[in-house]
A and B are shown apart, each in its own frame.
Chain A
């Protein structure tokens, strides 16, 4: 079946079988391998992308359901000029070790900051509740998100 979606601002069309998930379509049809497969059942969040302003587990969403939507993946965050503040702070603070959970974490965090410019630690924890990391613990990530929020508020960058 034909699916037409906008990914990172670009219109894309794919012909996929009905059981294809959004994650599989992004990875296999569009070569956007940033979002990862960790569990395939909605537990780990490493497949997180933003669909029409909501962060979703793309392993749980059928590609067909995303038809007509605007999808933002990790590949669409940075520009040649600048990393997204969340990416920058994750890097500065060493918030990732193996990095496998990173794209999902960063998308969840980005989506949080889009909606809530000054989240409390509890709100950050809530926003990351669906994202598992096995390497780092979450302390550095939470710090990085707080710093990114500060930066966004002071520079009004994004």
Chain B
């Protein structure tokens, strides 16, 4: 247990004791008939809920009971009378012009109630930073996860079968998959602009060239990280109902319902007052459920059919069409003196942005600010570019760029330590932020216990002994 104030401990203990003695005796509840008995009615008790000092008390998760009983209702566990099911057809190509889409054969299948294509969507663009992503692609597909048409049918099987009957004629375009290739003049321009760079950032502090020139040693290396999919065990799921009053209700596994409502309002051209977005318990988010995906599609399919429409992503949809973590290509040049003091660091980050912007604005900001690591470096230069490629859209994922740059700067710290013959821990302690240190963007940092943490952690896992 964490050390804490003795008086607090006493108060907590006495309160906890009191609570135990006051706890109602747990009487079994009698069950009428011989129905299967399924849930105990006494509520889980949480010590942290009492008016006690909560630190050090064990907290019981308020949702743990229903999770364990299998009674938590996620979106896919909900259904409504007359509900129908939607499926989305994804692109055949990473980059292509859409010449035509013919849904008539799909519509002819018994059980299919409606189809939808991009040009039926009132405002067919969305995105949390720039609105550069179509809800359903109508003129160009920019990666294989782009939806091109949707079907609503009485059950999922019929909807899935109907997708195969939709005829899409494409004219394939040259595609680019490597962010460094995408920077070249000769690369196809994915959004038709002059460049594939869609956002950038520069951070300057001191004089990096002078600092490098004055350093005893220069370390230079390129690091890169890969795509990562969140893989929430619950796939994206939503249900939409466009009711007879012209109001739209959407139940969704979305983590940001107010933002989602704005996007629904834009794409559907409906005032927000006519849209109700109901979030529920999310079966894992990790950043991947921070923006709308198919919600406007379901709303419009519901408008066409008058029925509630549900769509649950397949695991395949999840991998190719939901967002993923940005792969980074990171060039680090660091000047260090013989004693291990870092004098200057120059960094270039290239973020593989995939087909659309999504949460890249946040990622490039955080990645750039954190790129130098938690070290006092007087001379710093960071330049970062996010680049479109014909790949799965990259967006929010735990840390927004922080883990990528951490991999680079900590790898380089190890290389420096090895080359200079300095203990890797000592090297970090020598350069680490302390109380009042300034971040690369001149934020004065408070409550900095980095050195203390490093020392405590290394003592506990026996760093010195391990080194021998």
Contacts and interface: CB of A to CB of B under 8 A. Distances in A.
Interface of A: 8-10, 17, 19, 27, 33-41, 43-44, 46, 73-83, 87-88, 90-92, 94, 96-103, 106, 132-135
B68 A39 contact: no
A155 B62 CA distance: 27
Contacts of A34: 69-71
A75 B181 CA distance: 54
B122 to A, nearest CB: 32
Given A80-B29, A101-B233, A134 B66 contact: no
Nearest to A32: B70
B78 to A, nearest CB: 8
Given A78-B69, A91-B44, A102-B68, A36 B60 contact: no
18 contacts: A10-B36, A38-B235, A39-B315, A74-B69, A75-B38, A78-B37, A78-B39, A79-B37, A80-B29, A82-B40, A83-B40, A90-B64, A94-B59, A94-B61, A98-B67, A98-B234, A101-B233, A106-B68
Contact of A134 (B69, B70, B157, B232): B232
Interface residues of B, number: 43
A94 B69 CA distance: 14
Nearest to B283: A100
Contacts of B445: none
A38 B65 contact: no
Contact of A98 (B37, B70, B233): B233
Q: Is the interface of B mostly helix, strand, loop or mixed?
A: loop
Given A33-B76, A36-B77, A77-B69, 6 more contacts: A36-B283, A74-B70, A75-B71, A80-B40, A98-B234, A134-B231
A93 to B, nearest CB: 9
Contacts of A132: 233
Contact of A46 (B29, B31, B64, B233): B233
Q: Which secondary structure characterizes the binding site on chain A? A: loop
Contacts of A33: 70, 73, 76-77
Nearest to A83: B40
Contacts of B29: 80-81
Nearest to A39: B315
Interface string B31-65: 10000111111001000000000000001110111
Nearest to B29: A80
Contacts of A82: 40
A99 B39 contact: no
Given A10-B36, A36-B76, A87 B234 contact: no
A100 B64 contact: no
Contact of B233 (A73, A76, A133): A133
A76 to B, nearest CB: 6
A40 B234 contact: no
Nearest to B36: A8
Contacts of A74: 69-70
B28 A80 contact: yes
A117 to B, nearest CB: 21
Contacts of B235: 37-38
